[in-house]
Structure 1
Amino acid sequence: MDYDLAVIGTGTAAMVCAMRVAKAGKSVAVIDEKPFGGTCALRGCDPKKMLVAGVEVIDAKRRMAPHGVVGDVRIDWPELIDFKRSFTDPVPEKHEQRYKEGGIATLHGTASFSGPNRLRVGERELTASNFLIATGAKPRRLDIPGEEHLVDNEDFLSLAVLPKRIVLVGGGYIAAEFAHIAARAGAKVTVVQRGPRMLTGFEPELVEWLMDAFDRIGVYVETGLNVAAIEQRGDDYVVHAEGDGRAMQFDADLVVHAAGRVPALDRLDLDAAGIATENGRLSLNDFLQSESNSAVYAAGDAASNGPMLTPVSSHDAKVVAANLIEGNHKKPD
């Protein structure tokens, strides 16, 4: 075998597991088709916090305006994006260097299984005793006409110029966060949610506070509507939605996918390794080990049946690392 462990992905789960297993004296390789760092560091939590830091100043000024704080403040979006990039741009090189210092091989390219213990990365094929799928998540397919016009979280967090009219499809926490950022930065924002309210997994009282805040900053929320199609008209878009006997249209310069995420597994050719799935998710046992190929584990968003959060990813990775190091798992047949 080329390695004791091959890790697909370089996000939180991947790094935590790879570092622990390598420290235990095992040979490890990590593979990623994107810059090293994963969603949280590059395309999610951390860059979002950089933008939030800017728009919080707008809100603080509003709250303090009656108490001696005077003058106008506004967001210069390109400069705010440059501020974000000052944090995110150095991440891939730092992560790759950290792997190399830990004695971990780093490979760049799209990984796909070519057998139960084989992985293809570009033109190279490698073997490993065990594999960790830590490929994160991607926006779920909506299967509607014009779906290709949607942008995802990565696109939104990299916008060079903030569009004037933004429609967010979906009403979860990504929609809530992006709506606040965009509205406080000066965009006209509309949220289209199929459920009866936004953030259905949160306490209703908290959601009411959010709706009050949306009213103050001019975010328009339309619930009980399913987006049926996205139509491009020149440089603009029209979002067609329907529900409860209503048919509505929303004009936009940008339409953002915020309607849920699913494990990113489609490029891995799981069938070639005999890795079973159910309803688009990996079939795993209590050790986060594939029920059909005991050489394969998963962690983080790729393994998730619950919240796709960084602390969950870290916990999963620690579980997998302990199982690999201590042997507390089903052995290969």
Structure 2
Amino acid sequence: MSAEFDLFVVGAGMAGTTAANKCAAEGWRVGIVDALPYGGTCALRGCDPKKILRRGAEVIDAADLMRSKGISEGRISIDWSALMAHKRGFTDSVPEGIEDELVGNGVVSFHGSARFTGPNRIDVDEMQVNAKRFLIASGARPRSLAFPGHEHLIDSSDFLNLNRLPERIVFVGGGFISFEFAHIAARAGTNCTIIDHGDRPLKEFDPDLVDLLVERTKKTGIFVQLATTIHSVTPTAAGLDITLERDGQTFVIGADLVVHGAGRIPNLDGLDLNAANIASTPRGVTVTGHLQSTTNPAVYAAGDCADTPGRPLTPVAVFEGKVAASNMLKATTTTPDYTAVPTTVFTIPELNRVGVLEQDARDSGADITVRHLDTSGWYSNYRVGETTAATKIIIDMNTDTILGAHLLGPDYSELINILGLAIKLGLTTRQLKSMTATYPSIASDLGSML
């Protein structure tokens, strides 16, 4: 069997479905395929389910912070299976809803594995598909680990589907996944350890605020092992033994579960890009600034599987999908605008960034001032009992505009959006200070942070 399309999309996550719907709306015959349920990582195996589970941890932490401040000493706890059922109340309906929308817009949906067999041809299991254009939007997957026993680890998708939490969990890697999941599991009563090979975790974030978050993480009861190498994971009668090395010393810790949080890579395995003359790097499909393959003009790529300047974030995938679709439809070369995209580590409290790091701003030679403040004693944090909060805002002295903003504190993930908008629009700090915010609110602290 065979089929013909104007556009065929590989991957039914946010980038792929955005582009498919946009092109179908313009009358193109569009097909889309995914081997996994429609919805992609964010809606099913990442951002959305994670933050639903985090809500349980937020409630626990909020109560703990208010002990002796009006909240009784009686212990509240998370019913993990009920919280997981609450999560599934959202995720279970996502694939059908997304596929129904696609089909309703005229997109032909396929379920299966795709493999290129020519510059304008791809096989979906036994179906041969010919298309004038392709969009590769296949997302990312956990990177491969090489130490003996790595096959005994579970990944982030598995964690988000656990029906119960064991007593001891070790998280491998010092990035988003390990910190966010450990903060959830620890509040649910699990003994958690984070193991990071480097000296500092969360390397894309401000080091001063990361140090504060690490200390807050430890106070939560999470062990953080930095500059530590994993040599092996070995099953035992009691669970798993993890052999580690730090400062030349080897030691063993036990766990019931080990979770892979050591980074993700473009999910391009099995696509046979060479058969379609599609160049790629370890960062993804090699594309021009307007997201077209550098070696096959019939192919575009967007999202986590594309080698672009954008971070692997859902909002980036969405706007790359929109730009790729627009460029295909109009035969234009519009480049996505990556300016001022904020990013957040949803620990408790959360860590946020938009714009440049302080050291990068200094290295650029810009005339800057840095407003670095301990906000732990400010009213908005005192009110909820939080004792770890700080901000760092980097300002260009010549233009009075913000180059970078870094925030650690409760609900600062909302405030970082205002600062991102300010960077994107070139607003001055004087203009921001002129805003009258509703009071008392987190946003009403902004003027004092500047």
- Normalised-by-shorter TM-score class: over 0.9
In structure 1, the partner of 2:219 is 216
Larger Rg: 2
Query: Distance in 2 between the 1:304 and 1:242 partners?
Result: 34
Does residue 77 of the first structure (1) align with residue 96 of the second (2)? no
SS of alignment partner, residue 196 of structure 1: coil
How far does residue 280 in structure 1 lie from its aligned partner after superposition?
A: 5.8
2:344 is aligned with 1:322: no
- In 2, are the aligned partners of 1:136 and 1:301 still within 8 Å (CA)? yes
SS at match of 2:271: coil
CA contact 2:142–2:155 (8 Å) conserved in 1:
yes
Which stretches of structure 1, 4 residues or longer, exceed 3 Å deviation after superposition? none
- 1:173-188 to structure 2, matched below 5 A, reads 173-188=176-191
Q: Give the structure 1 partner of residue 58 of structure 2.
A: 56
Share of identical aligned residues, percent?
46
**Residue identity opposite 2:328 in structure 1:** L
Task: String of CA shifts for 1:195-228, please: whole Å, max 9, x gaps.
Answer: 1122111112221221232222210001001222
Q: Check whether the contact 1:274–1:293 (CA below 8 A) recurs between aligned residues.
A: yes
Deviations for 1:163-186, whole angstroms, at most 9, x for unmatched residues? 111001100111110010010001
Distance 1:274 1:241 in 2: 43
Structure 1 unaligned blocks of 5 or more: none
- Taking structure 1 as the reference length, what is the TM-score of the superposition? 0.96
Distance change >3 Å, CA 235–CA 269, structure 1 → 2? farther
Residue 111 in structure 1 maps to residue 114 in structure 2? yes
Per the alignment, residue 39 of structure 1 pairs with 41
Listed as ranges, the matches of 1:1-333 within 5 Å are 2-70=4-72, 71-234=74-237, 236-279=239-282, 281-305=284-308, 306-329=310-333
- Amino acid of the structure 2 residue aligned with 1:117: N
- The Cα shift of 1:329 comes to 4.8
2:434 aligns to what? none
Q: CA deviation at 1:243?
A: 4.0
Query: Are 1:190 and 1:219, in contact at CA under 8 Å, matched by a contact in 2?
Result: yes
What whole-Å deviation, never above 9, does each CA across 1:219-277 have from its counterpart, x for those lacking one?
Answer: 00010012222112246111222243122322111111111100000121111111112
Q: After alignment, is 43-52 or 15-24 more displaced?
A: 15-24
Quote the offset at 1:88 in angstroms: 0.2
Q: Relative to 1, partners in 2 of residues 1:126 and 1:106: Cα closer, same or farther, differing over 3 Å? A: same
**What secondary structure does 2:300 align onto?**
strand
Amino acid at match of 2:329: I
Structure 1 window deviating more from structure 2 (41-50 vs 306-315): it is 306-315
Any conservation in 1 of the 2:7–2:31 contact (CA below 8 Å)? yes
- Contact 2:176 2:202 (8 Å CA) reproduced: yes
SS of residue in 2 equivalent to 1:66: coil
Normalising by the residue count of structure 2, what TM-score does the alignment of the two structures yield? 0.71
CA shift in 2, pair 1:280/1:201, >3 Å: closer
Q: Is the 8 A contact 2:281 2:307 kept in 1?
A: no
The count of corresponding residues between Structure 1 and Structure 2 is: 330
With 123-132 and 279-288 compared, the bigger mean Cα shift is at 279-288
**AA in 1 matched with 2:256:** D
- Residue 2 of structure 1: SS of its match in structure 2? strand
Q: Deviations over 1:23-47 (max 9, x none)?
A: 1111111101111100000000000
Within 2, Cα distance between the matches of 1:192 and 1:119? 41
